[in-house]
Structure 1
Amino acid sequence: MAHNVFVYGTLRKGERNHHLLADSPCIAEQAWTNGQLFATDSYYPAMILGEDLVYGEVYTVTDEILAQLDELENHKGDPETDLYDRKATAIHTDSETLQAFVYLLVDKQHEVLGGPILYNDWKVHRLFNEKEDYLYFAYGSCMDDDRFKKAKIVHCFQNLIGRGVLDGYTLKFAMKGAKGGAADIVEHGGAVEGKVYHINKEGLAYLLIREGVEAGHYRPAIISCHINGELSDNVLTFIVCDKAEELKPTDIYANEILRGGTGTLSEAYLAQLKEKLKNQFNMLFD
């Protein structure tokens, strides 16, 4: 029998226990559900019920793999001795809402809880706390350096690694800005190209403000993408939190993307983007 499982900690891609899911189909890399995520006195995070959004991934597993996950999470179906309870709950993705099992720390074990996990995303929390510099995948207006110069932060975006290609995603203008749509990556298949920078904590601090993270406009996320043809893990990007129907971007914003991508993104991708702007929004660019 097949089961959907939502994972938020050490079972995620690139984490220490992901080998248990290596042969299980990944339904969604970008998934979320209601809850709260905390550090513990051990390496792993723990999720409890709550009204926040916890981010993770969804896999389809067999009975055999589910039994292995139960063993890992110390779940035997006895609330008196179990560490985690396994419950079916609603999980949201860019494509659908589905039912999946999630492992929740049982009430009697709440004394192991430490501080909250940054942005309720274990991979983001780890990256920000363990690293001083980051690979950053820019796919929208942050490919252009005009606003970097105006903010006097351009020195943080001088180390361009090259072209990034994010497979399995589509570029959409799904962020409702003050004057029009802003770019987003949506897990709907296809491929999104962008520029990959090597940035430090000063550059990160600027991006968190510019992307409106505290206001809930975008959230930091960790992706795997090809950089100059080679697959790289633990790459930082930003994804729209509350996705809207696609909105027409302003001419200024669209020009920032096209100008910023020229010389790094492929000619085919830039042509595809211009065609999208023409067909969906009647916007014409040379």
Structure 2
Amino acid sequence: PDLTARIDTSAEQISDALHDNDYFRDEMLEEHGYTLEQFEESPYDLAHDIAKADLVGDAGGGVVYPLKINRENYATIGGKDSTRLQGRDYYEEAKADINKADYADEADYDDAVQELSYEMQNNDDDGLYAQVYNALRETDAYQNEEAIGDVMEALGDSFNYGEVDIDSLDEAIRAHITDNYDDSTGELISAGEISSQTLKNLGYEGVIDNTVNSKFGSGRQYGQSMAGVESGTQHIITFPGGEHNLRSTTAAFDPS
């Protein structure tokens, strides 16, 4: 699962770079023996082939081992079991603290509740808002304060009501955090990688993504669909440090 995710992430990066930089495109095509016509015919498939060649090389025909994965501490994106981050419901707490009888007008009462709930949220240094914000700030997007702010704004009142759907967090990151580069290599870092880094920083050991068809397969709105990605396709990514969750189904127990 890790290698598949790395290839997909690299393919996204290469695809973006091929479209954005003609010089890089020409150099990359020449290096890997492709023509401009091949690129224009199927740009994403070509980017995926380049990514696979870079990461797998000549080992593509090697042994594939079936694995069992302990997914207990994995975040889930999409589907009926999508993960929801839970926090304090400041709105309900504010309602409990404010006497409705003190307000003759319903709108004034609602305004007072909203104002107090936002004050509670802003004063909670360990709350859900702070957790998500800090998780984003600890990714490779840390210098992109404006984009991080856009993500937080997109999630809006979810923080106030004490629940953030991982689906919404992933969508907001992919929509707003789009131009990030590795400090040491200068390589483009995809929004999908920033999403994974954020989830890892929130304490998850991996992610189960049920939305890959809408991102890469036949369900995507733009660009070339990735072969083999269909409705029901699921990607499981294990983050660095979570390798202990992987077990070979054919491995024998060694008592030594």
Structure holding more helix per residue: 2
TM-score above 0.5, yes or no: no
Structure number with the higher strand fraction is 1
Q: Structure 2 length as normaliser, TM-score?
A: 0.22
- Point out which structure has higher relative CO (alpha carbons under 8 A, 6+ apart): 2
Which protein is bigger by CA-based radius of gyration? 2
Task: Report the TM-score when normalising by structure 1.
Answer: 0.20
